[in-house]
């Protein structure tokens, strides 16, 4: 059975508000299964829930995953505030990353027991949606062994470059957090951190507009990501 997903574009929204929205939706899906099992049933409710996919952009913010190191934030707290950056320690996997204007941040709140119960496959599927999207712009996204995210191969003096980052958290197979896709992001803001804790000189960050040399139409890119997401996960959008 194809799953049903509500899509919401939250526009530009603070990280704290988006996190709160995710948390509410996440808890609703977990509570639904818990109530079913507490009533004496085994497994999951036979009628699937309606899952949610949130897109948004954030004002400049750095987030540190539960396995990350504060040493990878290169700005002191006072400088963060002076330059208008927020900072949050959060419960996703991974290290430190940046979110800001010109970046599509996606938060799937899915109960994977209705899709597939495989964390590795889930992360690869998030990557695949971005890989298919950038292919429409003539870019070949790749995966790098030992790292998550979507990368572009090194060429000439340019190192491998990450264009899409992944950071997720699952509780009882319900997903939280998701991906960040650099479309026309201010890449200089990554200079205040060691992105994802990766200190290798042969790896950097990039954006769609940087690679194509053209301004990106955010609305058009979002539509492409949205379409590829439904193809990869094999679901239908509902109102």
Q: Return the exposure string of 168-179: e unless at least 16 CB atoms fall within 10 Å of the residue's CB, then b.
A: bbbeebbbbbbb
- Which of these is catalytic: 174, 180, 196, 221? 196
Task: Measure the N-to-C terminal CA separation of the chain; round to a whole number of Å.
Answer: 18
Helix orientation angle between 218-233 and 119-135, rounded to the nearest 10 degrees: 140
219 touches 200 (CB < 8 A): no
| 196 is a catalytic site residue | yes
Report the alpha-carbon distance of residue 163 to residue 151 in Å, rounded: 6
Q: Which residues contact 135 (CB under 8 A, 6 or more apart)?
A: 141
Q: Are 207 and 160 within 8 A, CB to CB? A: no
Got the DSSP string for 133-197? Answer: HHHTTT---B--TT--SEEE--BTTB-EEEEEEEEEEEETTEEEEEEEEESS--GGGGGGB-GGG
Residue 75 and residue 62: Cα distance in Å, rounded? 11
Q: Which of the residues are catalytic?
A: 196
């Amino acid at each position: 059975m194809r799953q049903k997903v509500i899509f919401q574009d939250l526009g530009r929204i603070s990280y704290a508000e988006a996190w709160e929205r995710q948390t509410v939706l996440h808890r609703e899906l977990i509570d639904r299964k818990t109530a079913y099992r507490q009533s004496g049933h085994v497994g999951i409710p036979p009628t699937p829930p309606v899952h949610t996919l949130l897109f948004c952009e954030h004002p400049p913010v750095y987030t540190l995953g539960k396995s990350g190191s504060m040493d990878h934030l290169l700005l002191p707290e006072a400088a963060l505030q002076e330059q208008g950056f927020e900072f949050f320690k959060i419960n996703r996997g991974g290290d430190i990353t940046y979110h800001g204007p010109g970046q599509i941040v996606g938060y799937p709140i899915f109960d994977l027991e209705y899709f597939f119960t495989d964390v590795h496959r889930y992360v690869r599927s998030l990557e695949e949606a971005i890989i298919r999207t950038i292919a429409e712009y003539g870019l070949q996204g790749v995966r790098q062994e030992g790292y998550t995210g979507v990368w572009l191969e090194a060429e000439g003096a340019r190192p491998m470059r990450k264009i899409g980052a992944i950071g997720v958290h699952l509780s009882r197979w319900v997903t939280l957090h998701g991906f960040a896709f650099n479309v026309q992001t201010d890449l200089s803001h990554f200079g205040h951190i060691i992105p994802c804790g990766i200190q290798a000189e042969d790896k950097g960050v990039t954006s769609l507009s940087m690679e194509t040399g053209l301004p990106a139409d955010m609305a058009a890119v979002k539509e492409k990501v949205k379409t590829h997401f439904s193809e990869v996960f094999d679901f239908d959008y509902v109102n």
